[in-house]
Amino acid sequence: MIQQVEDPAVEVHDLTVTYHKKPVLWDIDLTLPRGAIIGIIGPNGAGKSTLIKSMMNLIPHSSGYVRIFDSNIDEVRPQVSYVPQKESVDWDFPASVMDVVLMGRYARLGLFKRPRKADREVALDCLKKVGMEAYKSRQIAQLSGGQQQRVFLARALAQEAEIYFMDEPFAGVDAATEKAIIGLLREMSEKGKTVVVIHHDIQSALEYFNWIVLLNMRLVASGPTQETLIPSLLEETYGGKLTLLAEVGNLMHKKEFTGRDKR
Amino acid sequence: MGQLWEFLSFAEPNIRYVTFGSILLCSSAAVVGSFIFLKKKALVGDAVAHSVLPGVCLGFILAGNKNPILLIAGAFVTGWLSLVTIDYISARSKIKEDTAIGLILSVFFGIGILLLTYIQHSGNAAQSGLDHFLFGKAAAMVSDDVNIFGGMAFVLIIAVALLFKEFTLISFDVDFAKTIGFPVKGLELVLTTLTVFAIVAGIQAIGVVLMAAILITPAAAARFWTNNLRKMIFLAAAFGGFSGLAGAYISYIAPAMPTGPWIVMVISVIAFFSFFFAPQKGIVMKLISRRAMAHQIQEENVLKLLFQLGQEDKNYFQQRSVGDIQARRPFNTKLLLSALERLKKQGFLEKGDDRWQFTQAGQKKGARMVKLHRLWEVYLTRYLRIAPDHVHEDAETIEHIITPDLEAKLEKLLEYPVKDPHESDIPYL
SS (H, E, C) A33-84: CCCCEEEEECCCCCCHHHHHHHHCCCCCCCEEEEEECCECHHHHHHHEEEEC
Q: Is A88 on the interface with B (CB under 8 A)?
A: yes
Pairwise CB contact (< 8 Å): A112 & B163: yes
Residue B59 and residue B194 in one domain: yes
Task: Write down the pLDDT at residue A253.
Answer: 75
State how far the Cα of A175 lies from the Cα of A144, in Å rounded to an integer.
13
Using the predicted structure, report yes or no on whether residue A31 has a pLDDT greater than 50.
yes
Using the predicted structure, report yes or no on whether residue A45 has a pLDDT greater than 60.
yes
pLDDT tens per residue, range A192-207:
999 999 998 888 999 9
For the ranges A71-75, A104-108, B193-197, B204-208, the lowest mean pLDDT is seen at: B204-208
Question: Does residue B342 fall inside a structural domain?
Answer: yes
Residue of A nearest to B178 (CA): A58
- B229 to chain A, closest Cα gap in Å: 5
Confidence of residue A260 (pLDDT cuts 50, 70, 90): low
Average pLDDT over residues A10-28: 90
Residue B52 and residue B185 in one domain: yes
Distance of CA B228 to the CA centre of its chain: 13
Domain count for chain B: 2
Query: For domain A10-255, which architecture applies?
Result: 3-Layer(aba) Sandwich (3.40)
CB B381 within 8 A of CB B388: yes
Question: Does residue B3 fall inside a structural domain?
Answer: no
Task: Write down the pLDDT at residue A259.
Answer: 58
Residue B247 and residue B376 in one domain: no
Residue B119 and residue B181 in one domain: yes
Nearest to B160 by CA among B260, B246, B69, B232: B232
State how far the Cα of B348 lies from the Cα of B298, in Å rounded to an integer.
14
For residue B407, give its domain range.
282-429
Contacts of B94 in chain A (CB under 8 A): none
Residue B288 and residue B233 in one domain: no
pLDDT tens per residue, range B252-272:
788 777 788 888 999 999 999
Average pLDDT over residues A22-40: 93
Pairwise CB contact (< 8 Å): B179 & A81: yes
Question: Does residue B196 fall inside a structural domain?
Answer: yes
Higher pLDDT among residues B2 and A28, named by residue: A28
pLDDT tens track, chain B, 429 positions: 567 777 777 667 778 888 888 899 999 999 999 999 999 998 998 999 999 999 989 998 888 887 878 888 999 899 999 999 998 998 888 899 999 999 999 999 999 999 999 988 887 777 777 778 888 887 777 777 788 888 888 899 999 999 999 999 999 999 999 999 899 999 999 998 899 889 888 888 888 888 889 999 999 999 999 999 999 999 999 999 999 998 888 877 887 777 888 889 999 999 999 999 888 888 888 899 889 989 999 999 999 999 989 988 888 888 888 888 888 888 888 999 999 999 999 999 998 888 888 999 999 999 999 999 999 999 999 888 888 888 888 888 888 988 888 888 888 888 888 888 888 888 887
Pairwise CB contact (< 8 Å): B229 & A58: no
Mutate to test the interface with A, among B191, B227, B230, B235 (most CBs of A within 10 A): B227
Using the predicted structure, report yes or no on whether residue A154 has a pLDDT greater than 80.
yes
State how far the Cα of B223 lies from the Cα of B226, in Å rounded to an integer.
6
Q: How many CB atoms lie within 10 A of CB B187?
A: 18
Report the CATH number at residue B224.
Answer: 1.10.3470.10
What ipTM, to 2 d.p.?
Answer: 0.90
Residue B323 and residue B257 in one domain: no
Distance of CA B295 to the CA centre of its chain: 28
Question: Does residue B174 fall inside a structural domain?
Answer: yes
Residue B241 and residue B300 in one domain: no
Task: Write down the pLDDT at residue B135.
Answer: 83
Question: Does residue B238 fall inside a structural domain?
Answer: yes
- A248 to chain B, closest Cα gap in Å: 22
Tell me the backbone φ, ψ of residue B228, rounded to 5 degrees. Answer: -105, 125
- A35 to chain B, closest Cα gap in Å: 20
Last residue of a domain, one of B217, B245, B278: B278
